[in-house]
Amino acid sequence: MNSSIQQILSPAWLAPVVPEDTVLTGHSLVIEDERIRTILPRNEAVANYPNVPEIKLDRHLLTPGFINVHGHAAMTLLRGLADDREMMDWLTNWIWPIEGQLVDEQFVYDGTRLAALEMIMSGTTCAADLYFFPEAAARAFTDMHFRAQVSMPVVQFENAWARNEEDHIHKGLAFRDSIKNSPLISTAFAPHAPYSVSDKGFEKIGLYAEQLDLPIHLHLHETATEIEDAVRDTGMRPIARMNMLGILSPALQAVHMTQLRDDEIELLVTHGVQIAHCPESNMKLASGLCRVQDLRQNSINVALGTDGAASNNDLDMIQEVRSAALLSKVTSGDATSLSAFECLKMMTLDGARYLGREEDLGSLEAGKIADLTAIDLSAPVFQPLYNPVSQLIYAATGRDVTDVWINGHQLLKGRQPQMIDSASVEAATAGWQARISEAVT
**Are residues 259 and 299 part of one domain?**
yes
**Are residues 214 and 336 part of one domain?**
yes
Looking only at the bridges linking them, the beta strands covering 5-14 and 54-64 are parallel
**Are residues 381 and 254 part of one domain?**
no
**Are residues 387 and 263 part of one domain?**
no
**Are residues 381 and 336 part of one domain?**
no
Q: Using CA atoms, how far apart are residues 138 and 131, in angstroms rounded to an integer?
A: 11
CA-closest candidate to residue 197, choices 214, 220, 213: 220
**Are residues 271 and 330 part of one domain?**
yes
Whether 59 is covered by a domain: the verdict is yes
Report the 10 Å Cβ neighbour count for 144.
26
**Are residues 58 and 80 part of one domain?**
no
Whether 10 is covered by a domain: the verdict is yes
Whether 143 is covered by a domain: the verdict is yes
**Are residues 269 and 318 part of one domain?**
yes
**Are residues 15 and 155 part of one domain?**
no
User: Which H or E run includes 433?
Assistant: helix 422-440
Contact 34, 371 (CB under 8 A): no
**Domain extent for 395:** 5-63+369-407
pLDDT at 411: 98
Boundary of a domain, candidates 354, 378, 394: 354
pLDDT at 2: 44
Whether 415 is covered by a domain: the verdict is no
**Cα dihedral sign, 215-221-222-226:** positive
Whether 360 is covered by a domain: the verdict is no
Phi first, then psi: what are they for 63, rounded to 5°? -130, 170
**Are residues 120 and 51 part of one domain?**
no
37: CATH: 2.30.40.10
Task: Please compute, for residue 420, the number of CA atoms within 13 A of its CA located in the half-sphere on the CB side.
Answer: 30
C-alpha angle 71-282-16 in degrees, rounded to nearest 5: 60
Whether 287 is covered by a domain: the verdict is yes
**Are residues 265 and 318 part of one domain?**
yes
Boundary of a domain, candidates 312, 331, 354: 354
214: CATH: 3.20.20.140
Whether 175 is covered by a domain: the verdict is yes
Contact 98, 347 (CB under 8 A): no
Q: Using CA atoms, how far apart are residues 116 and 112, in angstroms rounded to an integer?
A: 6
**Are residues 185 and 235 part of one domain?**
yes
CA-closest candidate to residue 278, choices 250, 295, 255, 298: 255
Splitting the chain (441 residues) into consecutive groups of 10 residues, what average pLDDT does each group show? 75 98 98 96 96 96 98 96 85 88 96 98 98 98 98 96 97 97 97 97 98 98 95 97 98 98 98 98 93 96 96 96 97 95 98 98 98 98 98 98 97 97 97 94 78
Q: Using CA atoms, how far apart are residues 246 and 202, in angstroms rounded to an integer?
A: 9
Contact 6, 31 (CB under 8 A): yes
Predicted TM-score of the model (pTM): 0.97
- Residue 41 pairs in a beta bridge with 27
C-alpha angle 252-255-259 in degrees, rounded to nearest 5: 110
Whether 178 is covered by a domain: the verdict is yes
CA distances from 45 to 27, 41, 54, 317, 367 (A): 8, 6, 9, 31, 16
Please state the domain count of the chain: 2
pLDDT at 1: 32
